[in-house]
Structure 1
Amino acid sequence: MFLKLCSARDSNQFTVSVNVEGNSTAIFVLIYEELLVRSNGIYNHDINLHPGNLVPNLKVVVNIKEPQVISTLRVPELRTGNDVAATENDPQNKNAVIEKDDDDQGVTITFKPDLEEQKRLAKVYLEKTKDKDSSNRYSRNTETTQTSTVLGQFVVQYDLEQPCTGEVFISDGYFAHFFAPTSLPPLGKNVIFVLDISGSMIGRKIEQLKSAMNTILSDLNEYDRFSIVVFNSIVTVQDLKDADLPAPKTPIYFPTVNSSSKNVTLVPPSVASPENIAKAKKIVNKLVANGGTNIYEALLVGLNIKDKGVEWDTEKKSTSNKGCSRCNSGWEDGWDVEWYEPEEIHNKLEPVIIFLTDGQATVGETNTNRIIANITKKNFESEPASIYTLPLGKSY
């Protein structure tokens, strides 16, 4: 018997090669270990269901046995892997059977989709992952409903009652002490969203971006600040006062103009109040995908906003500064705004850049290595921001 695990990128796959006598039965048992990481107050266990064919007796059983009481348990509907992480508001899997132990420290979840349910799930998975707009010139998806047998990710989410002093595990003379504090206040953030609305985002991916942004915006705290940078061939910083303007119409051509970060009109970061969050969602939900992909200049704009802080004055400098060439231009980059950053605010808000894109740069700087190197250097010229990337769909 030969067992081969695939690369780390495809670590949810493995292959088995074995000779089996005709008219006999072979049972394969795969045992592996996986570290469950507690994120946002919940443990996630994902099982990828890609049987390759419809299976008459498909059954997934998840047994959980913990030393502490299981305080939260959720089994959401099957997901594609590109979906935003499920929350308590998401629909639950109606076909999952949950049996809890009497001591509430163990639970067994059983999922047995029959052939009709497998066909339905495969169709749902395909519909969620393919572009809705069949006219998308960027799409090269050749998968059909006849060949797809991917059902999705079966997800189990749970959490435990956390002792005030943490948990101590002892085994074979070793011990581990786990801490999961629940009383720490959330970290204040100055969040800059950098959103890809290029032509390759047409269809499902722009809808994924909007869904992700609506979820993330809802999770911001009222003392956080945020900015929204959108880009295709050009880069634009969104102004919340434009939230009620009509949605832009998709142009009949894709603009090839390349914008520079030095010429972008900047907008002050907004307080994450309920009113501002509602305005931001309006703007995001009206985004239209078209044009090229100017990743480098978009990230530069995000970093420049980060560098200038969270408090700034949009008024032009007074005419008394005419004798100062630097004051005349505002900053050496040519902006006409004056920034200031009180130390007490700067120390409270952690700079964070959240970058949502689907693929490769096609406008401006397109060399990936140079983009990474230059953005990294620029980021560390002042207090560095944490940069998180959320990939959407496939890059073509």
Structure 2
Amino acid sequence: MERVVRLTLLGLLLAFGTAAPIKEDWDIYSFHINSTVTSRYATTVITSRVVNRVDAPKEIHFQVRIPKNAFISKFRMRIEGEMYDGVVKAKEQAQQQYTEAVSRGESAGVVSSVGRTLEEFKTSVTVAALQKVTFELTYEELLKRTLGKYELQIHARPMQPVKDFKMDVYINEKPGITFVQVKGGLSTNALANAITKTHAQNQAWVHFYPTEQQQIMCDSCGEQGMNGDLVVAYDVNRDASLGDIKVSGGYFLHHFAPSGLPGIPKNVVFIIDRSGSMHGKKMHQTRLALLHILGDLAEEDYFGLIIFDSSVSTWKRELSQANSENLAAAKEFARNIRDAGATDINAAVLQGAEMLTRNPRNGSASLLILLTDGDPTSGVTNLERIQDNVRKAINEKYPLYCLGFGFDVNFEFLEKMALENNGVARRIYEDSDADLQLRGFYEEVANPLLTDVIMVYVGVTNLTKTNFSQYYNGSEIVVAGLIDNNTETFTPRVVALSKSIKMEFETEKDSRLESTGTISDHHLQRVWAYLTVKQLLDKELQLSGAEKENVKKEALELSLKYSFVTSHTSMVVTKPPGENTQVLHKPKEGPSRHVTHVIESTPKVTTRVFAASSPVRRKMQKTKSHHRPSSDSFRTFAMDYADYDESADDLTTTTKAPRTSQVPLHHKFLLGAENQTIPLCYDVSAKHLKLLQDPDTGLSVYGKLRRSLQGGLQKIVIYYKTDQRIEVNTNSITVRDGQHVKAFHWGQDHVTAGSVTLILRDNEMDVSIGDTRIVILLHQRKGEKLLWPVLRQFPSGNNTVGILVAKPAVYSILQETSVSARLSIHNIEVIALRTSAVDYSITSAPTLDCWSVSPELALQRELSDFLVTQS
């Protein structure tokens, strides 16, 4: 499925730190955005010129957001007449340069950010007194058509009014431009007359030149200048023929989007997750979207509804016609969907595939739409096995679209499963408009026009993807390739089905394809490279072993050749001598919308042990461990629930390991690594944990694990000396000081009990005991509460033991694949599988990758040293 992707520049920031710029310190005297769109391929250049107006060096920050689908291809800075260019390298080489900078004591950063559709690039440089700096960033993207239009969206926020502020958009489309619209918050009221739009057959120009006064007077403006959107939407002329084909310099580019075709009736099965994690707003928004979608079905359509948790239920066993009677009954069914239970994705999708396979209709288009917010936790839970089962059941007969609700879902698993079945995966963000996101996705696939589309070319090589399961109204199919010899041997043709009727699209007899005189050879070549790299990265996700490595190598070579910053390359941001070295990575899809990793010039020790939400691979957010303790360093721990025994409610200081028969629990712990970005993880069967024990001060801390898929602790008990005990659960806090017992609740503010000081906030509790400081976080995850301890200040004693003070791991990677690695841990070689973890030590609780090993190997001591039993 082809869909529109907005070409977006959000948050065009030039700021000193996070504060608003002070005009007397430095000034952006010129800020230009120039975007050129030719044959739907956009090249955008952002140029910002800044002057340091004070008689002292000043650090200037440059920050800009770009679309996720875009590849940065160039970045440079001009300082005092010297040009400093960023260089795209293989990620390993770039990371080595980054690491070397850290080892020399220099500041180095990996800077990237993720939002709904955005990534972030930012850097900084020190500008000498009264000197200037010019930043220039270039990125490239192929616009995708959705619902009959392309959109170029720019969000301007320079952080101050700029005297010379210009946005210039130039669009050149050979078939002719049918319409051009300018909209967004920056196109109305006070700024409306700052926009000039010109449209002349196959070209269009949009200029946006607001004055300094206009930049502070518009609806979304202020003393810090503009903060809003400018959106340019357009489409091109289309007909029912072969489409738009361009040939230049040995390359061709084919845009296929025929119009005037009759719609095809569809068979659609909606598979809705109703597990407990869908509780509350998610379920409400899903019901709203489903009711709207059902109302949009045409009477010639057939549909099915499947809801699942640990079991699978269907509204009706067979597909039902979308007549008024059935729709009314289906809507009533949808209104009564309630959340409960675990998540059996395998059984649900197989049930949907069986329903479509059992009810074939000639002349129709079938599709499956899966909506889930979690990982498989019931039935078949092995991800590769689920993907294999689904692939065999669908057998390339129709596409599967996977919608991942929120960030707890394993999006990579859904993405691979969708790609393997000719569909796409889309993340639905947990915002107020989630129901609109669901409905918007459905609208993209609601009107199939062709099925089994095959793009056929004679006399070409190195083709991008040529087979497409369905073509939808308002979308577009794009293919590029290299022509063997000349245009006379190049013969394009498209074969497809429309209501089971074979259709062929081809050039008219005696017509010849001529090279275009308006598009450079360089342009079509870059479009081909962009498409090829994108599709290789998708293909890599689906493969394993030698095939995966070959595809990865091909994607890397093309990325380096065309200077694209992709998942296999990074840009080394070079700067003047003495300045910081930075490495820009293409960020992965992950839970954090703004992630910035910086290694400071003065190393600090930060050892983290992360918790897993389920044993599956995740996209990784990188962290870095350092080497010297400091007062603000912390260590924390985590676990993953699999089974639980609720007996025994108290916690004691007994140090014997529990008997496995008494405590059939299975938890996954993760341990931060001192010299690697990915922590280790290990499995433990236990109930009660020794978190910290300091014989010198008489301080002991114990934790009781929760019975929940979310993991975490349900109780933490702190003993101090012989007469003080603090018991913390998710609802209240009890403090015993000798014979005196007091009860408190979260959010009660400052409390002093003997030699213990508590600061109680809504979701955080600060405990100070002697020279030790522990922060206990209260998380709410999928409607459940859990506790998490973070050691902020270590005891001064030398005999302290426990989970919280476990030493970071030291290991090296000898060989690595996407799912496993051969590691050397303290000179012991071991095969480790890649799984995942949730870091509950911070409020946002990001999900991280980890390598699974034995607990003894990870901890370098007996596991029983960290366990306690009931007295």
Fold match (TM-score > 0.5): yes
Q: Distance in 2 between matches of 1:228 and 1:60?
A: 51
Match of 1:376 in 2: 391
Residues 152-182 of structure 1: per-residue CA shift (max 9 Å, x gap): 9976543222255533445457554533211
For structure 1, the 5+ residue unaligned runs are: 79-91, 121-150, 239-265, 311-344
Aligned to 1:302: 352
- 2:259 aligned to which of 160, 167, 182: 182
Does structure 2 conserve the Cα–Cα contact (< 8 Å) formed by 1:208 and 1:392? no
What is the TM-score when the length of structure 1 is the normalising length? 0.57
Secondary structure, in 3 states, of the residue corresponding to 1:13?
A: strand
Q: What are the superposed Cα offsets for residues 24-46 of structure 1, whole Å, 9 maximum, x if unpaired?
A: 44332221221112234222445
Number of residue equivalences: 286
Q: Is the 8 A contact 2:198 2:204 kept in 1?
A: yes
The yes-or-no answer on 1:289 pairing with 2:339 is: yes
- What whole-Å deviation, never above 9, does each CA across 1:219-278 have from its counterpart, x for those lacking one? 54432211011122332212xxxxxxxxxxxxxxxxxxxxxxxxxxx4321213355445
Deviation, 1:303, is 1.7
Which residue of 108, 115, 119 corresponds with 2:206?
Answer: 108
Are 1:353 and 2:353 counterparts? no
Which of 399, 408, 424 matches 1:386? 399
In structure 2, the CA distance between the partners of 1:298 and 1:182, relative to structure 1 (3 Å rule), is same
| Inter-CA distance 13–376: structure 2 relative to 1 (3 Å threshold) | same
For the residues of structure 2 that align with 1:200 and 1:76, how far apart are their CA atoms? Answer: 38
Give the 3-state SS of the residue equivalent to 1:293 in structure 2.
Answer: coil
Q: Structure 1 45/206 Cα, relative in aligned 2: closer, same or farther at 3 Å?
A: farther
Correspondence list, 1:117-136, <5 A: none
For residue 37 of structure 1, the aligned residue among 121, 144, 148 is 144
Conserved in 1, the CA contact under 8 Å of 2:319 and 2:356? Answer: no
Q: Structure 1 65/4 Cα, relative in aligned 2: closer, same or farther at 3 Å?
A: same
Question: How far 1:50 sits from its partner (Å)?
Answer: 10
Instruction: Supply the distance in 1 between the matched residues of 2:278 and 2:170 (Cα, whole angstroms).
Output: 39
C-alpha distance 208-45 of structure 1, shift in aligned 2 (>3 A): farther
Against the structure 1 CA distance between its residues 377 and 77, is the aligned structure 2 distance closer, same or farther, given a 3 Å change threshold? farther
1:200 aligns with 2:277: yes
Structure 1 counterpart SS, 2:346: helix
Relative to structure 1, the CA distance from residue 176 to residue 378 in structure 2 (aligned partners, 3 Å threshold; closer, same or farther) is closer
* Range moving further from structure 2, 152-161 or 189-198: 152-161
**C-alpha contact (below 8 Å) 2:240/2:260 kept by paired residues:** no
Tell me if structure 1 keeps the 8 A contact 2:266–2:302: yes
The amino acid across from 1:201 in the alignment is M
Residue 178 (structure 2) pairs with residue 71 (structure 1): yes
Partner of 2:565: none
Letter of the aligned partner of 2:393 in structure 1? K
1:357 aligned partner, one-letter code: T
SS at match of 1:31: strand
Partners of 1:153 and 1:206 in 2: CA distance: 31
Equivalence for 2:484: none
Within a 5 Å distance, the mapping from 1:261-300 to structure 2 comes to: 266-273=316-323, 276-277=326-327, 279-300=329-350
Q: Is the 8 A contact 1:4 1:15 kept in 2?
A: no
Give the Cα separation in 2 of the matches to 1:55 and 1:179.
Answer: 42
Are 1:158 and 2:265 an aligned pair? no
Which letter maps to 1:352?
A: L
Q: Shift of the alpha carbon at 1:368? A: 1.9
Match of 2:805 in 1: none
Q: Is 1:196–1:230's contact at 8 Å kept on the other side of the alignment?
A: yes
Aligned-partner Cα distance in 2 for 1:42–1:290: 40
Cα distance in 2, alignment partners of residues 60 and 230 from structure 1: 52
Aligned equivalents of 2:119, 2:295: Cα separation in 1: 31
Corresponding residue for 1:55? 159
- 8 A Cα contact 1:3 1:14, kept in partner: no
Query: Residues 257-311 of structure 1: CA distance to partner in whole angstroms, max 9, x if unpaired?
Result: xxxxxxxxx432121335544554454354333432221221121122122115x
Q: Secondary structure at the match of 2:134?
A: coil
Q: What is the letter of the counterpart of residue 387 of structure 1? A: L
- Name the CA shift for 1:303/1:174 in 2 (closer, same or farther; >3 Å): closer
**Partners of 2:399 and 2:381 in 1: CA distance:** 23
Q: CA deviation at 1:17?
A: 5.3
Contact in 1 for aligned 2:112/2:119 (Cα 8 Å): no
1:183-237 deviations in Å (ceiling 9; x for gaps):
2223332111101122222344334434543554455443221101112233221
C-alpha spacing 1:44/1:367, structure 2 compared with 1 (3 Å): farther
Q: Secondary structure at the match of 1:297?
A: helix
Letter in 1 for 2:273: D
Inter-partner Cα distance in structure 2 for 1:195 and 1:46: 32
Q: Which moved more, 1:109-118 or 1:14-23?
A: 109-118
1:230 corresponds in structure 2 to 307
- Give 1 or 2: higher helix fraction: 1
CA contact (8 A) 2:220 2:228 kept: no
**In the aligned structure 2, how far is the partner of 1:93 from the partner of 1:291?**
49
Is 1:217–1:277's contact at 8 Å kept on the other side of the alignment? yes
After superposition, the CA RMSD in angstroms is 4.2
Distance in 1, matches of 2:332 and 2:207, equals 39
The answer (yes or no) to whether the contact 2:366–2:398 under 8 Å persists in 1 is: yes
Q: Percent identity of the aligned residues?
A: 32
CA distance in 1, matches of 2:229, 2:392: 38
Larger Rg: 2
Deviation larger for 274-283 or 217-226: 274-283
Secondary structure of 1:206's match?
helix
* Contact 1:4/1:14 (8 A) holds in 2: no
Structure 1 residue 70: deviation in Å?
3.6
8 Å contact 1:2–1:18 — kept in the other structure? no
* Whole-Å separation in 2 of the counterparts to 1:152 and 1:361: 40
In 2, the alpha carbon distance for the partners of 1:230 and 1:60 equals: 52
The alpha-carbon distance between structure 1 residues 367 and 2, as it changes in their structure 2 partners (threshold 3 A), is farther
Give, in angstroms, the shift of residue 353 of structure 1: 0.6
Q: 1:373 to 1:278 in 2, by over 3 A?
A: same
Which gives a bigger RCO, structure 1 or 2 (Cα 8 Å, sep 6+)?
1
Aligned AA for 1:65? I
